[in-house]
Amino acid sequence: MRQLACDVLVVGAGGAALRAAIAAHDTDPQLRVQIVTRGKLGKSGVTATACSDRMAFHATLPYTLPGGDDNWRYHAADIYRLGGCVSDPKLAEILAKNSGRAAQELQRWGVPFTLDSAGRLAQFITDGSDYPRACYTGPYTANHISQALCAKVRELALPVLEEHYVFQLAVSGGRVVGVWALPEGLPGTEDPARHLVFLGARSVVLATGGAGGIYGHNVFPPGAVGDGYAMALAAGASVVNIEFLQIALCSPKTSLACSGSIMRAMPRFVNDKGEELALPGSWPELVFDKGASWPLSYENPTHKIDLLVARELEAGGKVYLDFSANPRNFAWESLPQRLVSLYKAERRQDLGQERKFSPLARLREINQPVVQWLAERGVRLEAGERLEIHPSVQHFQGGVWIDAGAETKLPGLFAAGEAAGGQHGANRPGGNALMDAQVFGRIAGERAAQVPFRLDRNHPQEPKLQKDRGTAAGEILTHVRGLMDRYAAVIRWPEGLKVAAQELEELAKLEPVPARESWDRVLEAKAAVLVARAVVKAQALRKESRGPHLYFTEADGEAMPTDPEYQRSVCLSGPALNASWIKWRKPKEDEK
């Protein structure tokens, strides 16, 4: 067994992890701050790899509207309100208060944010916010953030153990004392006991990102199954709000989020037989507005589109956006004035009368680059090809429950970024995830660096991994993803969730083993089963609709309304997923 020791151990190398490592070093440059990650620095995780038509970083800067010293309060109020009042209001305030600093820090470190004519960071309005706060560099904002943070980590010469899969927290005397890892890609034929790595630390920051990979339909990088949630639960910590995931219409072939201009071009929704889907009555407003309210949310009537698509898929069909011809009964002249004005504000070129005749002309008029972008990825709209769409998981709003110091319920364990929970509620304003990773990444690093040194002579027990007798890990993963897509995505109902829970309990009894696979698949399968059980359990406990959680009495019935009784959060603790409810308390003025 190989052993390494450090003061602060940061697990992951995404936006939250790198910010935490930098902060730990800045807090005390004498400390040994170690990063350990799957994949390579700057190449793994969502921050380094994701893109969309315009990625947002939400921030309240000194000049952000509505202006004034306390403009962060409007931001905090938006987070809490849009979150369905089921997040920790204290954490919302910390996010809002620190967001401007985070954006300015990133700009200083080299993120090329777009500037306005006055040389200030340009900002636009995203879903769920009343004021323009979203800063951006373009489609690759997250990647630019990752590059700037990687450069800083290299400048500080912080050690990075790459291509290592952390799979278990080591706990001794009731606190975290390190983690267990295996080299990534270890062939299934190898005995894992001979390759175990123990990384001892006085504090550990979990920044392992979200768990999109427990669903078949997701836009996360491969392997993102929520190891952080699983490790924290297995060690006795708690997760909160884990039923709230951002789900939205994406292109499975290209992972493009079909928001903004894609919907504002008002395409036809067709099935694989070429039949146009009957869009709900308030068409075309609903489709147009979907452009600005992309994630599925019960509070927004545009969720009827997600539902329509989900039901068509459920019936065994496929759904495409067709830009070659106008939808049935479409007439440019009959569009409400509000839509025409909004459309005109988006125009980047003038195609005159052409815009009346096809969604493709409208898309070219408001976002020609996306037509090119899709063509480069094999969807040639100009040749009449259709864009397949599917509701896909993009973000976990919940995670390992943290307090204002980013500390979890387990002493010595901190969490930040998408691995952490409590800071977002049911929904989040667009751009708040990248910002959250910077704000709580910094706080987690600072606090982890202040944990006092304790000598622990107890050596944690080595984990045991079964090699031979069991079920192929890949089979278990496929089964989990099938269950989650079928029962725990857009449409959630008691019978479906019961089936999912029972089957997941059976999967939990199986021992995943590598069958012509590497040990990575075994570790992913173990984590995926526990995380999926937690998500399904939390979904079943919330018997109302709120944010992306649409809860139906029957699969083909009506979504249940929001119930004020459920203005509280589901908390699941330990490997047994013991459930409790948290009722949040808004801080009094003098506590802020």
> Residues in the site for ligand FAD, rule: CB under 6 A?
11-17, 36-39, 44-47, 50, 52, 55-56, 142, 165-166, 207-209, 219-220, 227, 257, 394-395, 417-419, 430-434, 437
Longest Cα separation, the chain: 78
Q: How far is the CB of 123 from ligand FAD (least distance, A)?
A: 13
Nearest CA-CA partner of 271 in 168, 386, 380? 386
Closest to ligand FAD by CB, 1 vs 340, is: 1
Tokens matching residue 341: 């004005």
* Distance separating alpha carbons of residues 198 and 462, to the nearest angstrom: 9
Q: How far is the CB of 254 from ligand FAD (least distance, A)?
A: 11
Q: How far is the CB of 10 from ligand FAD (least distance, A)?
A: 9
Residue type, 512: P
Nearest CA-CA partner of 4 in 34, 39, 38? 34
What's the N-to-C CA distance of the chain in angstroms?
A: 48
* Distance separating alpha carbons of residues 439 and 433, to the nearest angstrom: 10
Closest to ligand FAD by CB, 11 vs 366, is: 11
Closest to ligand FAD by CB, 55 vs 266, is: 55
Tokens matching residue 375: 């063509």
Q: How far is the CB of 507 from ligand FAD (least distance, A)?
A: 19
Q: How far is the CB of 350 from ligand FAD (least distance, A)?
A: 29
Phi first, then psi: what are they for 325, rounded to 5°?
-145, 155
Closest to ligand FAD by CB, 44 vs 408, is: 44
Q: How far is the CB of 345 from ligand FAD (least distance, A)?
A: 20
Q: How far is the CB of 283 from ligand FAD (least distance, A)?
A: 27
Phi first, then psi: what are they for 235, rounded to 5°?
-90, 0
Closest to ligand FAD by CB, 36 vs 287, is: 36
Q: How far is the CB of 134 from ligand FAD (least distance, A)?
A: 8
* Distance separating alpha carbons of residues 138 and 235, to the nearest angstrom: 40
H or E stretch covering 35: strand 33-36
Q: What is the CA radius of gyration of the chain?
A: 24
Q: Which residue number has the CB closest to ligand FAD?
A: 14
Instruction: Determine how many CB atoms are found less than 10 A away from the CB of residue 313.
Output: 19
Closest to ligand FAD by CB, 99 vs 300, is: 99
Closest to ligand FAD by CB, 270 vs 370, is: 370
Closest to ligand FAD by CB, 60 vs 394, is: 394
> Residue 418, CB half-sphere, CA atoms under 13 Å: how many?
26
User: Any idea of the CA torsion for 340, 346, 352, 358, to the nearest 10 degrees?
Assistant: -80
